[in-house]
Amino acid sequence: MTLTPVHFFSHGSTMMLGEHCSSTDYWKTCGDEALRNGIKGVILMGAHWDCFGDQIQVSTNPSPAKSPVAYVHPSKYVDYELNPDLQTAERCIDLLAKAGYNVSGNNTFDWIHDVYLILIRMFPKACPPTTIISLNARYDPHYHMKVGSTLRQFRKENYLLIGTGGAVHNLYRNRWGPMLRFRDNFAQDSPPDSWAMEFRQAVEDAFTKNSGPALRRAVTRLMKHPEYRDAHATDDHFMAAMFVAGATGDFEDEGTLATLGAETWELTNMCNSQFTVGSWSGKKPQ
Ligand SMILES: [Fe+2]
């Protein structure tokens, strides 16, 4: 028995689906590795689906549509066939309910680009069986960390767990001019602001210099960082980081470090860092 690696991917703007960069290469490399290692499926927490009250949901829609995306030619996504894993969804619901969550299936939810952008980039030929877990709109870091720790056991069954959100992701502080005028999301006619650089470094340090329960503490603590609110005007794109810390922060994970696999700045101030905790070659024996 071995533990699969877990990814925290910053999906950035919708243009990351249409435009090529080192992050999109990295996603493909991670997808290729996962397929080579025969994953059973993907379990994914995104950033664009959240539930009110104390609820959390799991997608049980047998034939989800795709919410359309701006600034991307439809040929890049409309024909990609999604592959919902209803059996694993039921198992996730079961485990989360046993862990005390107010959890249910949602059989009408359509998938959003935070999820299918990553799936298309990682697995362009065919979508593996995939389960999507919602966020809770109270955005409690420990709540989402515990979702990850509850589903961590799937790593022992060769499932790939992914959180897709953002390291520095504040749409209000992005510089949209070059994209709106020239469709250039990578333009950087000035350096990123200092708060973006500071918080990006804090995220890298938290992921790459901690392991086991210390990783959980470091990642949840980032929401108290002085630059956090500048880096994340809303909390939705940072919950997936909590999920990943939960899934990789057990005592068993001590010594399993994360790597920063790629990084792409978009819209001047949005930092799309791509982290992988653990590796296929360095899987720890169980
Ligand atoms: Fe997003």
Contact (Cβ atoms closer than 8 angstroms) between residue 122 and residue 34 = yes
The 10 Å CB-count burial string (b at 16+, else e) for 82-115 is bebbbebbebbbebbeeeebebbebeebebbbbb
User: Are the C-beta atoms of residues 199 and 80 closer than 8 Å to each other?
Assistant: no
pLDDT at 171 over 70: yes
Task: Give pLDDT, residue 70.
Answer: 83
Distance CA 10, CA 31 (A): 15
The two tokens of residue 193 are 């602001």
What local confidence, expressed as pLDDT, does residue 286 receive? Answer: 39
Q: What is the pLDDT of residues 99-130, one digit of tens each?
A: 999 999 999 999 999 999 999 999 999 999 99
| Distance in angstroms (rounded) separating the CA atoms of residues 186 and 263 | 12
User: How far, in Å, is the centroid of ligand 1 from the Cα of 62?
Assistant: 23
- Say how many Å lie between the CA of residue 47 and the centre of ligand 1: 6
Cα 271 to averaged position of ligand 1 atoms, centre (Å): 12
> If you measure from the C-alpha of residue 109 to the centroid of ligand 1, how many angstroms do you get, rounded to a whole number?
17
What is the 166 CA–ligand 1 centroid distance (Å)? 7
221-236 pLDDT per residue, tens: 999 999 999 999 999 9
Distance 161 CA to ligand 1 centre (A): 18
CA–centroid distance, 6 to ligand 1, in Å, is 19
CATH number, domain 6-277:
3.40.830.10
In 10 A of CB 224, how many CB atoms?
A: 8
Residues lining ion ligand 1 (Cβ < 5 A) are 47, 114
* Domain residue spans of the chain: 6-277
Alpha-carbon gap, residue 261 to 263, rounded angstroms: 7
The CA 32 to ligand 1 mean position distance, Å, reads: 23
Write down the pLDDT at residue 139. Answer: 98
Give the span between the Cα atoms of 280 and 286, in whole angstroms.
14
> Among 54-58, 99-103, 150-154, 278-282, which stretch is predicted with the lowest mean pLDDT?
278-282
pLDDT, tens digit, 9 for 90 and up, residues 192-204:
999 999 999 999 9
CA 165 to ligand 1 centroid distance, Å? 6
- pLDDT of residue 282 exceeding 90: no
Confidence of residue 281 (pLDDT cuts 50, 70, 90): confident
Taking the centre of ligand 1 as the mean of its atom positions, its distance from the CA of residue 285, in whole angstroms, is: 35
Of all residues in the chain, the percent with pLDDT exceeding 70 is: 98
Calculate how far, in angstroms, residue 174's C-alpha sits from the geometric centre of ligand 1. 13
| pLDDT at residue number 173 | 96
Identify the top-confidence range among 15-19, 141-145, 179-183: 141-145
**What is the structure's pLDDT at 12?**
97
Mean pLDDT value across the chain:
96
pLDDT, mean of residues 176-195: 95
Percent of the chain whose pLDDT exceeds 90: 95
Rounded distance from Cα 60 to ligand 1 centre (Å): 21
Predicted local confidence at residue 283, as pLDDT: 52
Confidence of residue 71 (pLDDT cuts 50, 70, 90): confident
d(CA 11, CA 6): 15
Residue 285 has pLDDT above 80, yes or no: no
Between the CA of 252 and the centroid of ligand 1 the distance, in Å, is 31
Residue 284: pLDDT band by 50, 70, 90 thresholds?
very low
